[in-house]
Structure 1
Amino acid sequence: MILHELISIELLRVIWWLLLGILLIGFAMTDGFDMGVGALLPFVAKSDVERRIAINTVGPVWEGNQVWFILGGGAIFAAWPPLYAVSFSGFYLAMFAVLAALILRPVAFKYRSKHESPRWRSNWDWALFVGGAVPALIFGVAVGNVLQGVPFRFTEDLHAIYEGTFYGKFLGLLNPFAILTGLVSFGMLLMHGAAWLVVKTDGVVAERARRIGVWMGLVALAGYAIAGLWLAFGIDGYAMVGQVVVDGPSNPLHSDVVREGSWLAVYGERPWIAIAPVLGFLGLIMAIRGLRSGGEISPLLWSKLGILGVISSVGLTMFPFILPSSIHPTSSLTVWDASSSQLTLFVMLVSTIIFLPIILAYTAWVYRVLWGKVTADDVTSNSESVY
C-alpha cells in the first residue's frame, strides 16, 4: 500500500475541515485582539503617550499573529481549491477591502512615530482604527452571507460562475442578516481587544477599555442570540439527500442538495454540537462579567472561549457544507466534494504535523518573553520602543 493511502480520503477531508476551523479560530484569538486594539485606539487612549502604550501592547506580536491568517488562506488554497476559487471571486471587492485594511495596518505601525507632528500621528492612529475595524466587520459579514448561500453555480465542465454584479459583489453583501453577523464579529473582537488591553495596561487606558469592552460584549452577545433565532425561523438551511458519497471524486455536481427546513435542524440529528453555542454564550457572558468586576486575566480567557464557541457553532451547524449556493443548491461545496486529492491532503497533513507545533512553541515563547504590562515609562524612556 502506498503511504498516503494509509489514511482514507474521507478521514483526510474531515481532518482538513477541522484544521481549517482551528486556523480560523487561532486567527480570531490572536490577531483578533490586534484588530480590536486598533479599532479601540482612538477611544481608549486620548494623549500621545496613552496611544503609544496601547500600540505597544500589540506592536511586538501582531506580525506573528497574522501568520494564522496566512495559514488559513493557504489551507483554503491547497486543501479546498473550489472554495478558494469561488469565495475569492465572489467576494473579490470585500476581500480587497480587507486586504487594503490589513496592508494599511503595518504601514501605520511603522510610520506613526516617525514624525512628532500631532496631526501626522493622529492620521496614522485613525489608519490603525480602519485596519482593525474593517476586517473585524467584514469577516462577520462574510459569515452571514455564507449562511444564507452565495449566488454561484458550476457548469458541466466545473467552471464556476458567480452571478453577482458590482452591487451583488459588495453592496449586496450588506444585507440585514449579514450586517447583524458583522456586528457580532465586530463586537466580539473589540471586546477581545479590550480584554487584552486590561491585561497589558493599567490606569485610564485599562479603565476605558473595560467600559467599552463591556458594551462591545453586550453587542456581540445580543447579536449572537438574535442571529440564532433568525437562523431558526428566517433562513432556509441546506441538506444532502439520497446516497452521500464521502470518498468520491471532488465534483459538487455529483451530490444532490436541496434547500429546505432550518440550519438548526441538525441539532436534532447531532445534539452534541450544542456544546458550541453553549460555549459561545458562556464565554461572552463571563468575559463581560469579568470586565465589569475588575478581572484581568479572566476576561481574556473567557473571551477566547467565546470566540471558540461562536466560530465553532457556525462550522458545526453547517457541516458538511462549507459554501452553499443560493441559486443552484447542487453546486454547493461540501467537505465531501470540494477537496484536493488524497495525496495532496496527506502531504499537507504531514507538513502541518511537523511545522504547526514549531509555530505554537515559538508563539508561546514570544508571549512568555513579552509578558507584563506596558507603562508610560516603557514607551518614553525605552529607546527600543519604536511605536
Structure 2
Amino acid sequence: MFDYPTLKVIWWLLIGVLLIGFAIMDGHDMGVGTLLPFVGKTDDERRVMINTIGPHWDGNQVWFITGGGAIFAAWPLVYATAFSGFYWAMLAVLWALFFRPVGFDYRSKIHNATWRKVWDVGLFIGGAVPPLIFGVAFGNLLQGVPFHFDNFMVVTYTGTFWQLLNPFAILTGVVSSAMITMHGGIYLAHRTEGAVQQRATNAATGAAIVAVVAFIAAGAWLHAGSIEGFVITSAIDPAGLANPMAKTVARTADAWWRNYQKQPLLWALPAIGVIGPLLAVVLSRAGRTLIAFVLSSLGLAGIITTAGASMFPFVLPSSSMPGASLTVWDSVSSHFTLGLMFWAAIIFTPIVIAYTSWCYRVMRGKVTVEHIRANEHSAY
C-alpha cells in the first residue's frame, strides 16, 4: 500500500485523468451539439451529425459522473465548498444537460420541422453551455473563490453568481468553449463526408484559432501580474490529516509561475496546448482525420494540465481567507479511503476504457445522408 502523501498526489493525478477523459470523450459530443445549428444545413445533415454521437454520448457521460464521484470521495471538502460557491453555475450545467437525453431520444420521433428545430436548439444548449461554465469556473479558481471557514469548519461563500462572470473568467470560458467546439469539429470531420465534413473542418479551424489565441491571452494576463496567485508560506505536513486551517498562504503576482520555474519540463504542457489544436486542423484539412482527433485530444489535455500544473498543490484557493485555501495535502479523505478507491480505480478504469474502445470500433465508419435515409426508423 502506498503511504498517505503518495496517495494524495496519486489522486490529484487520477482526478486530472478523469477530467481530461471527460473533456476528450464527452467533449466531442458537446462540440458536435454546439455545431449542430451551424454545420447541419438540412434536417438530413443534422441527423447525420446526431448519429455520429448518438450511440456513444450516454456511455461518455460515465467520465463526468465518475469525475464528480471521485471528487466527492477523494476531496470531500473541495466537493462541499465548490458546490456551495458554484451552486447556481452547477445547476445551470445540469439544466443544460437535461436537454441531451430527451433531445437524442425525442428529436426524430415526429416528422415535424418545428418539433425537430426545438430539439435542435435543446441539443445546442446541452452542448454549448457546460463547456462555457466549466471554463468560467477554472478562471475563478485561478483568481481565488471568496469563501471561508468558521471555528466549526462550516464553509461560507461570500460571493454571488454574477461575480463569477468577471472578464478573466469569461476569457477562460472562451478557451474552454472554443477547444470543445474544435474537438467536436475534428470528430465530425472523421465520421462524415461531403458538405458536412467540409463545414465541420472549417468550423474546427476557426475554433482552434480562437482557442489558441484565447489560451495565450489568458497566460499573458496571468504573467502580467494583475491576477495574484497563491503560495504556501508555512511548513506543511504532507502526511497530516485534513485541516486546511493549519497553514498560512500568501498571494503573489508570480505564484502561478513558480512550478514552471522550478520544473522547466512543465513548459511542454502549454506547448502541447498550443501546438496540438493547430496540427489537428492542419491534418484534418489534409484528410488525416484520425491522427487529427488524437492531436486534438492532446491539445485539450495540454490546456487542462497547464492549469493544474500552475495551481499545484492548490485545488480550491480562497480569495477572502487565503489560509483556508484547499490543497492536495489538506482537503482529502483518509488514508484508508484513498487506498480503497485507488484499487477500485485500477480495476474499473481499464474496463471502462476497454468497453468504450470496443463500442467505437464496432460502430466505426462514416455516417452519410444515404445511410440515414435507408435506416429511417433505426437512426436518431
The reply to whether residue 316 of structure 1 matches residue 293 of structure 2 is: no
Give the counterpart of 2:68 among 73, 94, 98. 73
Q: Which runs of 5+ in 2 are unaligned?
A: none
Could you tell me how far apart the structure 2 residues matched to 1:384 and 1:354 are? 38
Cα deviation for residue 292 of structure 1 reads 3.8
Q: Which amino acid aligns with 1:380?
A: R
TM-score of the superposition, structure 1-length normalised?
0.96
Residue 234 of structure 2: aligned partner: 242
Give runs of ≥4 in structure 1 deviating > 6 Å: none
Q: Deviations over 1:237-257 (max 9, x none)?
A: 110112121111101001111
CA contact (8 A) 1:53 1:376 kept: yes
Other structure's SS at 1:254 match: coil
Residue 151 of structure 2: aligned partner: 156
Could you tell me how far apart the structure 2 residues matched to 1:382 and 1:115 are? 15
CA contact (8 A) 1:83 1:338 kept: yes
CA contact (8 A) 1:218 1:288 kept: no
The reply to whether residue 279 of structure 1 matches residue 272 of structure 2 is: yes
CA contact (8 A) 1:82 1:338 kept: yes
Other structure's SS at 2:151 match: coil
Structure 1 segment 112-191 matched on structure 2, within 5 A: 112-164=107-159, 168=160, 170-191=161-182
Structure 1 segment 1-387 matched on structure 2, within 5 A: 6-164=1-159, 168=160, 170-233=161-224, 234-262=226-254, 263-382=256-375, 385-387=378-380
Cα deviation for residue 383 of structure 1 reads 5.2
Cα deviation for residue 378 of structure 1 reads 1.7
Could you tell me how far apart the structure 1 residues matched to 2:27 and 2:135 are? 12
Other structure's SS at 1:60 match: coil
TM-score of the superposition, structure 2-length normalised?
0.98
Aligned length in residues: 378
CA contact (8 A) 2:245 2:323 kept: yes
Q: Deviations over 1:157-195 (max 9, x none)?
A: 21111112xxx2x22111000000000001000000000
CA contact (8 A) 1:42 1:125 kept: yes
Q: CA RMSD in A?
A: 1.1
Q: Which amino acid aligns with 2:210?
A: V
Could you tell me how far apart the structure 2 residues matched to 1:235 and 1:15 are? 29
CA contact (8 A) 2:186 2:281 kept: no
Cα deviation for residue 103 of structure 1 reads 1.3
Same amino acid, percent of matched pairs = 51
CA contact (8 A) 1:378 1:385 kept: no
Other structure's SS at 1:253 match: coil
Q: Which runs of 5+ in 1 are unaligned?
A: 1-5
Could you tell me how far apart the structure 2 residues matched to 1:296 and 1:358 are? 26
Other structure's SS at 2:251 match: strand
